[in-house]
C-alpha cells in the first residue's frame, strides 16, 4: 500500500513533490522519499511521516525540475530504511524509481536477477527488482530509438514481474517514465498544467493534489501503457501489453481518499452508492428492523453511512469520535497493547447512543478487532440493540497486488458463517453487502472502460492468470515468515522505547 507522485516542471519540483506526498499520506505512513534530477540525482528518504522526514535543509538539497516521490506502507519487505523508496541504479544512464503495488513472485525474481542477469537486489523491496529488470533490458536495447528501448524494457517487466503495480522513473538526462500493469490493477492518474513555456506534467496514485498545485486532470494512464516525457517536454505514449482492465475495487471501498477520481469513477459517489445499496438490502431482508440511528465507523465509512441513513429514512450521526494521533493499532506488539490503544483511539458520544437501536456502518470487516471493540463501546454506553453492517462483502482471500490484506486464516470470515462472525463481534445482527451490489455501486456511473473490477479478496477471482493454490500457499508462507520476523523485532524494547 503506497502512494507515488512524479512531476516534470519548468521549475524546481521538490516543494510540489512534498505537497503531493502530504496529499497521499493516507496511502502510507511508514516511510517517505523524494528523488530529483538536475544535472545529477538528489535523494532524501527516511522513516515516518512526510513532515518528519523532510526538513528545510533536506528540501534545499533536492535540486531539479524533474522528480519522483513515494509514501509507503510495506506489503513486501519490512519497515526499515533499507526498503524505503525511491531506489536507484547507475547504469544505464542512472535511473531512480518508485512504485505502488506488489510483485508476488519477488523472491523468485530476485534470485533470477542474480543468477541470470548478474544483478544484485540488495533490499526486500520489490520495486528494486522492477528497477533491475527495467535497467537490464534498457541496457540491451538502448542503441535503438530511445522510446522504443523504454517500451522494450517495460515489456520485459510485464513478462517477468507478476502482480499489480504502477511505476514512475526518472532517467538521467532523458526524462520521466510512467507505466501501469497490463490489467490496470493499481491506479495512476495524469495531470497537466499549461504554461507559456513547456506543458508541465504530474503523475500520481490519486488526483487529490491536482487542484492544490493548479494541475488539471488529464486522464488515467491506461493499463499496459507507457508514457515518457522527454527533457524537451515532448510526450511519447504507447500501449505495450493491454489485458482485461481489472482495477482494484478496494480503492473505492477504503483505500483511496474520498475526493479522488480513479478510472473514470468518483470515489465519493461510489461510496454513496454502496450505502444506498446496503440500505436497500436491509429494507428487503429486514423490513421491520427497528433502527433509531445510523452511526459510521470513522472515517472511511462516513459517506456510505450517510447514504444508508438517507435511504432508510433514519437519523445519521457521527456518534463515534476518532483520535487521529494514535498510531495504527494492528502493528503494535501484543494484544494487550493493541486493545489499550483501541480504547484511546475511539470514543462515543453517549447521548447519541443511549437507549437507542444503533446501526453501525463500517467499510469492511478484516480481523474483526475494531468491530468487536465498537460493539462493546455501544453497549457500554447503553445502546438497546447494536446492528453492524459492512459496505463490503466478507473478506476471504489474500490480496496479491499491493493492499496489505492479511493471510487467509487471519480474516474473521475465514471458515466462518455470518452467524459465527456476529457472535464473535457481539452484535445483535450482522449484515454484509452483496458482491454484485458492491460492483454495481462502483460501475453504475462514469465514463467506464471496465465492467469487472478486481474483487479477488471476496471471491478468489484473481485478475492475473498465474495465481493458483501453490502461489497462494507460497505467498501466505512468505507473509507469515515476514510478520513473525517483524513481530520479533518490534518487541525488542529498551526503556519502553522501540529499538
Alpha helices (H) along 14-53: 14-23, 50-53
CA atoms within 13 A on the CB side of 46: 11
Classify residue 213 by burial, with Cβ atoms within 10 Å: 0-12, 13-18, 19+.
Answer: buried
Q: Give the separation between CA 363 and CA 350, rounded to whole angstroms.
A: 23
Q: Give the separation between CA 213 and CA 203, rounded to whole angstroms.
A: 12
Q: Give the separation between CA 320 and CA 316, rounded to whole angstroms.
A: 12
Q: Give the separation between CA 31 and CA 53, rounded to whole angstroms.
A: 8
Q: What does the chain come to in residues?
A: 499
**Residue 231 host element (H or E):** none
The verdict on whether 151 is a catalytic residue reads no
Cell of 402: 499491493
Q: Give the separation between CA 88 and CA 68, rounded to whole angstroms.
A: 12
Cell of 54: 523532510
Across the chain, which distance is largest between two alpha carbons, in Å?
75
109 dihedral zone (left: phi>0; alpha: psi -120 to 50; beta): alpha
Instruction: Check residue 26 and report its DSSP letter.
Output: G
Q: Give the separation between CA 194 and CA 203, rounded to whole angstroms.
A: 15
Closest CA to 243 of 181, 164, 172: 181
Catalytic pick among 2, 142, 151, 308:
2
Q: What are phi and psi of 216, to 5 degrees?
A: -95, 140
Q: Give the separation between CA 324 and CA 469, rounded to whole angstroms.
A: 39
Q: Give the separation between CA 200 and CA 113, rounded to whole angstroms.
A: 35
Q: How many CB atoms lie within 10 A of CB 416?
A: 16
Q: Give the separation between CA 217 and CA 189, rounded to whole angstroms.
A: 8
Q: Are 374 and 360 in contact (CB under 8 A)?
A: yes
Q: What are phi and psi of 296, to 5 degrees?
A: -85, 150
Q: Give the separation between CA 338 and CA 344, rounded to whole angstroms.
A: 10
Specify which residues 295 forms β-bridges with.
Answer: 360
Looking up cell 536495447 gives 141
Handedness of CA 49, 410, 461, 418 (dihedral sign): negative
Per-residue HEC secondary structure of 136-166 comes to: HHHHHHCCCCHHHHHHHHHHHHHHHCCEEEE
Q: Which residues are catalytic, by number?
A: 2
Amino acid at each position: 500500500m503506497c502512494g507515488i507522485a512524479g512531476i516534470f516542471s519548468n521549475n524546481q519540483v521538490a516543494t510540489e513533490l512534498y505537497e503531493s506526498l502530504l496529499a497521499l499520506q493516507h496511502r502510507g505512513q511508514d516511510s517517505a522519499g523524494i528523488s530529483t534530477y538536475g544535472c545529477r540525482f538528489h535523494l532524501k528518504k527516511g522513516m515516518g511521516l512526510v513532515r518528519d522526514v523532510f526538513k528545510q535543509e533536506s528540501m534545499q538539497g533536492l535540486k531539479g525540475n524533474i522528480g519522483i516521490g513515494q509514501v509507503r506502507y510495506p506489503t513486501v519487505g519490512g519497515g526499515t530504511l533499507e526498503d524505503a523508496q525511491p531506489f536507484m541504479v547507475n547504469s544505464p544512464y542512472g535511473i531512480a524509481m518508485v512504485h505502488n503495488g506488489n510483485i508476488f513472485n519477488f523472491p523468485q525474481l530476485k534470485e533470477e536477477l542474480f543468477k541470470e542477469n548478474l544483478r544484485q537486489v540488495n533490499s526486500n523491496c520489490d520495486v528494486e527488482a522492477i528497477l533491475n529488470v527495467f535497467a537490464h533490458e534498457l541496457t540491451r536495447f538502448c542503441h535503438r530509438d530511445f522510446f522504443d528501448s523504454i517500451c522494450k524494457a517495460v515489456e520485459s517487466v510485464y513478462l517477468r514481474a507478476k502482480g499489480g503495480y504502477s511505476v514512475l522513473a526518472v532517467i538521467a538526462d532523458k526524462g520521466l517514465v510512467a507505466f501501469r500493469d497490463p490489467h490496470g490493477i493499481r491506479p495512476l492518474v495524469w495531470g497537466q498544467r499549461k504554461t507559456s513555456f513547456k506543458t508541465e506534467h504530474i503523475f500520481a496514485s490519486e488526483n487529490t493534489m491536482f487542484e492544490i498545485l493548479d494541475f488539471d486532470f488529464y486522464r488515467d494512464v491506461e493499463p499496459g501503457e507507457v508514457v515518457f516525457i522527454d527533457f524537451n517536454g515532448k510526450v511519447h505514449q504507447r500501449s505495450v501489453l493491454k489485458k482485461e482492465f481489472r482495477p482494484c475495487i478496494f480503492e473505492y471501498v477504503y483505500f483511496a481518499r474520498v475526493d479522488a477520481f480513479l478510472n473514470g469513477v468518483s470515489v465519493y459517489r461510489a461510496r454513496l452508492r454502496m450505502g444506498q445499496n446496503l440500505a436497500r438490502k436491509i429494507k428487503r431482508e429486514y423490513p421491520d428492523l427497528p433502527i433509531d440511528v445510523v452511526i459510521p465507523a470513522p472515517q472511511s465509512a462516513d459517506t456510505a453511512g450517510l447514504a444508508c441513513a438517507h435511504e432508510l429514512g433514519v437519523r445519521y450521526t457521527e456518534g463515534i469520535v476518532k483520535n487521529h494521533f494514535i498510531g495504527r493499532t494492528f502493528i503494535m506488539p501484543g494484544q494487550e497493547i493493541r486493545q489499550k490503544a483501541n480504547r484511546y483511539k475511539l470514543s462515543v458520544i453517549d447521548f447519541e447512543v443511549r437507549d437507542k437501536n444503533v446501526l453501525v456502518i463500517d467499510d469492511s470487516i478484516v480481523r474483526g478487532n475494531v468491530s468487536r471493540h465498537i460493539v462493546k463501546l455501544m453497549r457500554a454506553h447503553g445502546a438497546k440493540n447494536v446492528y453492524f453492517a459492512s459496505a463490503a462483502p466478507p473478506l476471504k482471500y489474500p490480496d496479491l497486488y499491493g493492499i496489505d490484506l492479511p493471510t487467509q486464516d487471519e480474516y474473521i470470515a475465514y471458515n466462518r458463517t455470518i452467524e459465527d462472525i456476529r457472535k464473535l463481534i457481539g452484535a445483535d445482527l450482522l449484515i454484509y453487502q452483496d458482491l454484485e451490489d458492491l460492483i454495481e455501486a462502483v460501475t453504475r456511473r462514469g465514463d467506464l472502460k471496465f465492467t469487472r473490477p478486481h474483487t479477488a479478496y471476496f471471491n478468489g477471482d484473481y485478475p492475473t492468470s498465474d495465481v493458483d493454490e501453490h502461489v497462494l500457499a507460497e505467498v501466505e508462507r512468505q507473509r507469515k515468515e515476514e510478520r513473525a520476523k517483524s513481530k520479533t523485532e518490534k518487541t525488542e524494547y529498551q526503556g519502553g522505547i522501540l529499538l
